[in-house]
Chains A and B, each alone.
Chain A
Amino acid sequence: MTTEITQTLRRVLRRSRPADVDAVARRAEQPASPASPAPSPVDIAPDDPLVAYFQSTAGAVEIDTLELDSPALAALKAAGVKMVVPLVSQGELIGLLNLGPRLSEQGYSSDDRRLLDNLAAQAAPAVRVGQLVREQEIEARTRERFEQELQVARLIQQNFLPKDLPDLPGWHIEAHYRPAREVGGDFYDVIALPDGQVGFVVGDVTDKGVPAALVMAATRSVLRASAQRIVHPGEVLERINEHLCPDMPPKMFVTCLYGVLDPASGRLRFANAGHNLPYVRTDDGVIELRARGMPLGLMPGMTYEEKEAVLAPGQSVLLHSDGLVEAHNPARQMFGFPRLMGLVAGHRRGSELIDELLRDLDSFTGPGWEQEDDITLVVLERSASAAAASSFPGAASGAASAPAEANGDGSRTLAEFELPSREGNERLAIERVEGAVAELALPAPRLERLKTAVAEATMNAMEHGNGYRADAPVRLAVLASDSDVRVRITDHGGARDIPDAEAPDIEAKLAGLQTPRGWGLFLIQNMVDAMEVTSDDKHHTIELSLHREGDRDDTE
């Protein structure tokens, strides 16, 4: 614990010379003010040898007798201090009582010293109490300011969420927003558009508190204005991105899913700026709606892929933020995309889906859980009796989520996406890959190995291939065959050779003979069953392969 020692000069005893003490005080002040009535505190550095000396010494000390290599001692002597009485409370040095020479110009007597020691013994606890009260006051003020900021963030957030949801014949719309205590940057919106169409938005601003709430408010305002003028969801996201980029605080960005629904036909056109993929529940299982696009506010000039799907009668779509899938249980396991997907698949009626998800979340996290992030859920369900005779022709409608297409080598592509090269984005890669392979139901240890290998390879691609340039994204493709799952990770570093990785030697690292870093490639090699690197003049691609069933001991 740091001991803060403040030396204050006081005329404690009338027997000491007030004039001298005042002189000391004036000298201690910079600049000196002859009219100044109160002496100025002098700080003593915590590592000054004088501190250790006083901590080990009981009673008053005549400092002229001390010889220490101590700047504080020199300062005290120079200030004319003759006697110092350490104030010690519960073994901790909390202050010093400093006295100048006696008025009589004689030395301090043993009676004086006893008096001073008694005084110090009584003053020390009182001073300590005063210090503690002051510390608590400061802490309380800090807490109060923090709570006020939280309140402001909550107010901003709540004011920008829709008060009512539209009543669409043939549709059931439900939304749920539950803020974390330290409000995150979630938002959702439902916007009435020309020709009876309806816009749906779910987004998430990185960061928390007031800054996130303000960026959320700006995003929502631009989106609302753009949506009325621009028909295509991808162009709306482009417009928001151009607005946000110039003023975006560092390390902040916005993920956002924007879809335009034609209630009459069930046609949903959508674009996605790096947000969680919506899940559509069909009779044949759950389908993800995929469309490529970078998060908003990272860099100008981005374009956003636009896809469309048709929701058939009885089908529903869930839009969601990551507060649900990233919730942890007491064993620190994440709720995760696979669990969410399983719940959506097992649910027959979308209108009760939100309640069921929240119930499942409660049982997953257990009692006493402090919600880690905002949770936003929006469900659109088309009534089973709706007249439109449409179905969900994923491939035909161009939805990237359609049953994955077969590749020539007998594999099928489960997901393809790009991520900006930014520190920490390997986490996004893990989430997307985990979601993509959910249907394969890999044994848990193999899934964990795949996630670690994907994270490391993505970090290498962002750092060594792309030099963390935001305009050089990393591209990932997830493929599956009957026996294997493969992840291809491509960067823009093709012109550079990949250096041979030195096998990390932990003993050399511990001895300081090797850098502590350099574990990435080693980990990848040990996590997967095969790894292959290919290059052209512009790109490197690393392909990670993992058997779907373990050939190692996966039961551990």
Chain B
Amino acid sequence: MTPSELQTTVRRAGDAAVIDMRGEIDGGADAAMDAAYATAQHEQTATIVLNFEAVDYINSTGIAVIVGLLSRARRDGRAVTACGLVDHYREIFEITRLADFMPIFDNEAGAVGGCDREDGVNGNHDTGRQA
């Protein structure tokens, strides 16, 4: 059995800092997400992208961790977008209204450019699913 802790890496993509996450997002992911956010902040970008492509499990305590990160980004005046979510977690992000504050995109390119769009952070962002 593999105790699966969240691993993160931060990289620059265009005008955004992308946090690639791998593993599980639960309450134990708090420290890893804090550190990743701090690193992403150093990139001084207006947008931070959370890439969920390699995340295989998110529970309610993990949602709390994401809310904490969004709250911090809000204070810092940074927009947060998301990509790489499977349908189930996309549904959960919509039910919890996380998607209202963190636009969800089908792919990274959309998420990186997402907050330059007119429909912006709280607008009618791309919630379409892949065909």
Contact = CB atoms under 8 A, between A and B. Distances in A.
Majority SS at the chain B contact face: helix
Contacts of B86: 331-332
B107 interface: no
B1 A517 contact: no
A523 B60 contact: yes
Contacts of A556: 87, 91, 129
A449 B67 CA distance: 21
Contacts of A515: 64
A516 B64 contact: yes
A445 B60 contact: no
Interface residues on B, range: 20 to 34
Given A448-B88, A517-B64, A510 B1 contact: no
Interface in A389-431: 423-424, 426-427
B95 to A, nearest CB: 5
Contact of A332 (B53, B65, B70, B97): B53
B96 interface: yes
Contacts of A427: 57
B77 interface: no
B55 interface: yes
Given A517-B60, A519-B63, A523-B60, A204 B1 contact: yes
By CB atoms of chain A within 10 A, which of B28, B74, B88, B100 has the most? B88
B44 interface: no
Interface in B52-77: 53-57, 59-61, 63-65, 67-68, 70-71, 74
Interface stretch (A304-312, A345-353, A452-460, A484-492): A452-460
A517 B87 contact: no
B98 interface: yes
Interface centre among B42, B63, B95, B97 (most CB of A within 10 A): B63
A332 B55 contact: yes
Contacts of B101: 506, 510
Contact of B56 (A251, A334, A522, A523): A334
A504 to B, nearest CB: 7
Contacts of B61: 459, 517
B92 interface: yes
A89 B66 CA distance: 38
B72 to A, nearest CB: 10
A522 to B, nearest CB: 7
Contact of B1 (A185, A448, A459, A509): A185
B124 interface: no
Contacts of B87: 445, 556
B92 A452 contact: yes
Given A332-B55, A506-B100, A520 B60 contact: yes
Interface in A529-556: 556
B2 A516 contact: no
A519 B2 contact: no
Contact of A504 (B28, B92, B96, B129): B96
Interface centre among B28, B57, B74, B87 (most CB of A within 10 A): B57
Nearest to A204: B1
A373 B96 contact: no
B3 A510 contact: no
A512 B67 CA distance: 10
Contacts of A519: 60, 63-64, 96
Interface string B78-111: 0000000011100110011110110000000000
A510 B64 contact: no
Contacts of A522: 60, 96
A255 B1 CA distance: 9
Contacts of A448: 88
Nearest to B88: A448
A456 B96 contact: no
Interface string A489-529: 00000000000000010100111100111111011001000
Interface of B: 1-3, 26, 28, 42, 53-57, 59-61, 63-65, 67-68, 70-71, 74, 86-88, 91-92, 95-98, 100-101, 129
27 contacts: A185-B1, A206-B3, A207-B3, A208-B2, A322-B1, A332-B53, A332-B86, A334-B56, A373-B1, A423-B28, A424-B3, A426-B59, A445-B91, A456-B60, A512-B71, A516-B64, A516-B65, A516-B67, A516-B68, A517-B61, A517-B64, A519-B60, A519-B64, A522-B60, A522-B96, A523-B60, A523-B92
Given A184-B1, A510-B71, 10 more contacts: A255-B1, A452-B88, A455-B59, A459-B61, A506-B67, A506-B101, A509-B71, A511-B71, A523-B63, A526-B95
Query: 8 tightest CB-CB pairs across the interface, nearest first?
Result: A519-B60, A448-B88, A516-B67, A516-B64, A520-B60, A517-B64, A506-B97, A516-B68
